[in-house]
Amino acid sequence: MSIETPIAPHVDPVPPGSAEFSALVAKIAAGAEHRAAHDLNAHEQIDWIRQARLGAITLPAADGGPGVSVRALLSLVIDLAEADPNVAHILRAHFWQVNEILRALPPGPQRQHWVAEIRAGKLFGNASSERGDRAAGTLSFATGLTRAGDGFRLNGEKFYSTGTLFSDWIGVSAQLDLNTVAAVLVPIDRAGVTVVDDWDGIGQTRTGTGTTTFEDVVVEEHEVLDVRVNDGSARGANDVALLQLYLQAIIAGILRNAAEDAARLVRGRTRSFQHAPTASPADDPILHAEVGRITSAAYVAEAAVLAAADEIDAAYRSERLGEPDPALFTAASLAASKVKVHVDEVGLRAANALFEVGGASAASRSRNLDRHWRNIRTLTLHNPTSYKAAAVGDVFINSTPLPVNGYF
């Protein structure tokens, strides 16, 4: 079947940092607390993202995009996460998939087709992880892709399909044969595709992180992006560091919001304890110190994320020049790992400290202040902090290479 490139009016993405972008973020933030309190999906807000063409901001100029840096992308993610961490998280797989398309496809009709989809505002979801006894990070899947006529058929079940509920296309990892894995894209509304909103986590509850099943789903030739042999060889240029650091960018945005909530709590309190240093909570130096720690945690988390983003940008520059430097990609992964170890710890501590400034009323369900802790705690569980810390320590003590999988 020939590739039909969609025809859509050309609209440039809303530039990050612009007045238009600030207005979009403010509009998303306006209803975020209500959505969180009532466990509502942000379908309308994701449609605003489509209309703003934010999903195209990382396309390079040669492909008709602005080609923003990783630093600029993660700064945008922090802004979105401050407004609504679910919205920021929903887009994680999309930006990874855009990079995968650009890396896998040479100039030609297939690349032009997918670039046109991105420029039209289409969004990509994720269907990679599976439940079962396979070790997390293993490049091996129960989901299978089989040849059928001039195309393929896809069968299997995925979980942790973050963003897929809100997507136009689903990026799927599937086993082609014993040692070969294929990356494919299928539309969310194709026959045989079922997306179930069954994620029941304590935090990040409305990210569409649930089950996606594929029952004899037709896959066209041009929807197969990449085929790779899992032979244990060293990994080349990749987006693992970006995928991992993206989660800490979300935490940094949540901490900004938590800091604002902390200051608002103190300003809004009209009474204190008899044994407090001051009658007015707003004048209490103990509460000043607590808010200062939360605000400082937010600042340092953001600074750490953006510093590590510069390391990823350096690795990507080497790739764009045609000579991807493995040492730079390793440095980027190490930087992202160190940020995770630190930000996970200070983020949870800061989200817990929020209750220290609010008194007993801070525990009221109507305030929903526990959402910050629940969201951060859920984000930290994407890969265990203790394993990351141990790997970083082993690098520094024994010069042991970092593990080679999707978590490093």
H helices within 192-283, ranges in order? 240-268
Average pLDDT of 228-242? 82
pLDDT in tens, 305-342: 999 999 999 999 999 999 999 999 999 999 999 999 99
Task: Report which of 101, 91, 80, 102 is spatially closest to residue 32, judged by C-alpha positions.
Answer: 80
Which amino acid is present at 356? E
Q: What is the pLDDT of residue 7?
A: 46
In sequence order, what DSSP letters do the residues of 138-179 get, joined into one string?
-S--S-EEEEETTEEEEEEEE---TTGGG-SEEEEEEEEETT
Give the best-scoring range by mean pLDDT among 8-22, 123-137, 330-344. Answer: 330-344
Q: What is the pLDDT of residue 300?
A: 98
pLDDT in tens, 147-193: 999 999 999 999 999 999 999 999 999 999 888 999 999 999 999 99
8 A C-beta contact, residue 115 and residue 8: no
Q: What is the pLDDT of residue 234?
A: 67
- For the cut 60, the answer to whether the pLDDT of residue 8 exceeds it is no
Q: What is the pLDDT of residue 187?
A: 98
Task: State both tokens at 152.
Answer: 């393929």
What the chain holds in terms of domains, given with CATH numbers, is 19-122 (1.10.540.10), 125-229 (2.40.110.10), 239-398 (1.20.140.10)
pLDDT in tens, 335-378: 999 999 999 999 999 999 999 998 888 899 989 999 999 999 99
8 A C-beta contact, residue 49 and residue 27: no
For 80, residues 6+ apart whose C-beta sits below 8 A from its C-beta are 25, 28, 87, 88, 91, 253
**């994320």: which residue's tokens?**
305
Element (H, E) at 394: helix 385-398
- For the cut 90, the answer to whether the pLDDT of residue 229 exceeds it is no
Q: What is the pLDDT of residue 5?
A: 53
Q: What is the pLDDT of residue 373?
A: 98
Q: At what angle do helices 19-30 and 43-51 cross, to 10 degrees?
A: 170
Q: What is the pLDDT of residue 315?
A: 98
Residue 236's pLDDT band, with cuts at 50, 70 and 90, is: confident
Q: What is the pTM of this model?
A: 0.96
pLDDT in tens, 270-303: 999 999 999 999 999 999 999 999 999 999 999 9
Whole-Å CA distances, 71 to 46, 133, 157, 308, 324: 22, 37, 34, 8, 19
